[in-house]
Structure 1
Amino acid sequence: MPNLKQDLKQLYERDFLLWVEENLRLIKEKNYEEVDWGNLLEEIEDMGRRHLDSAVSYMAVIMEHLYKLEQFKADEKMGKGWVKSVLNSRDRLELMLKREPSLRRKLEENLSWAWEEALLNLVAWFRDNEDLAEKFFGKLPSKEDFPSECPYSFEDVLSYEPWGRSND
């Protein structure tokens, strides 16, 4: 008789959707002994991590654009897209927090991780805008040219609006 557990482990690599359906069937039938628990637990953990990663990315975009609005708005025409991006990302983030309130605590704990991602975005943006890199830094900046500590609180990410004031 074939080993169902071993077959499921192989199915996980070959046909993920079928693997999910088979494990779901086994759980519904209360056939817990045959469930591929190792991969199933890993997938459940990964689901939570994906939600957190997505929310952290929204925070990173918000911080990147807040920082650009504060520090690198070269003229009055610049920044409208950044404001729109901040507002859109906040809408998405607020929807996620409404749907998953426990995410708030995790996001507060991962603020510095979001800032790290924002720094990567800032460096990449200056690579695409060498004239601004020259104007503000005299060179292409690296992560070390920006604050290592996150300059924003979680509440700033959710509500701070620097576009309402002068950036002189």
Structure 2
Amino acid sequence: MPNADTNPKIGKASLYQTDFCAWTEAQAALLREQRWHELDLLNLIEEISALGKQQRQELRNRLSLLIGHLLKWEYQPGRRSRSWLATIRVQRRDTVALLQDNPSLKPYLDEALPQIYQNSRDLAMGETDLPASTFPSDCPYSLSEILGEKFYPGEPSELVTE
């Protein structure tokens, strides 16, 4: 007979509410064992939906950081550093990998770019203390430039080597 320890749907406080990690492991075990009738379907559906949203959020966060650093790179050439260069390179690689792992996110880029750029612009303004008028109101870079490993806006830098 199922009890609260073996069935995550039994009891006043479900395992989903009290120990999310244990709940995910229990759901995975039920799926592997094809015990369909014991699955916590409502919460499972919610979590699967959230996974897609989480990937979109990760894409927005990575691109916001990347574009923010491209703006700083272009508009504060005298303050360029290896740290900025590393951030640009890592965010590019991670964004490209995220898009390779989730190709359905590619069409979302055009829709999300205006919001992403506003976040990037705010980041650049906050980290440079330059006025808003310094930065274009719309993203000055194409997606292929943003993700292109050889694109560094503004004047050339000795930090960037082939």
TM-score, normalised to structure 2, is 0.74
Unaligned runs of 5+ in 2: 158-162
User: How far apart are the structure 1 equivalents of 2:143 and 2:120?
Assistant: 14
- CA deviation string 1:111-158 (max 9, x = no partner): 1222132133123314xxxxxx3xx44xxx5xx874443332211211
Higher helix residue share: 1
Instruction: Note the C-alpha offset of 1:69.
Output: 2.1
Question: Is 2:142 aligned against 1:153?
Answer: yes
Q: CA deviation at 1:90?
A: 0.8
Q: Which amino acid aligns with 1:59?
A: L
Amino acid across the alignment from 1:12 = Y
Query: Quick one: which of 4, 7, 15 aligns to 1:11?
Result: 15
How does 1:51-66 map onto structure 2 within 5 Å? 51-66=55-70
How many residue pairs were aligned?
150
Helix, strand or coil at the partner of 2:147: helix
User: Does the CA contact (< 8 Å) of 2:15 and 2:23 recur in 1?
Assistant: yes
> Do the aligned residues in 2 keep the contact of 1:52 with 1:107 (CA within 8 Å)?
no
Determine what percentage of the aligned residue pairs are the same residue: 27
Query: Which range moves more in the overlay, 144-153 or 20-29?
Result: 144-153
Alpha-carbon distance, 1:98 to partner? 2.6
Instruction: Specify the SS of the correspondent of 2:103.
Output: coil
1:90–1:158 CA contact under 8 A, matched in 2: yes
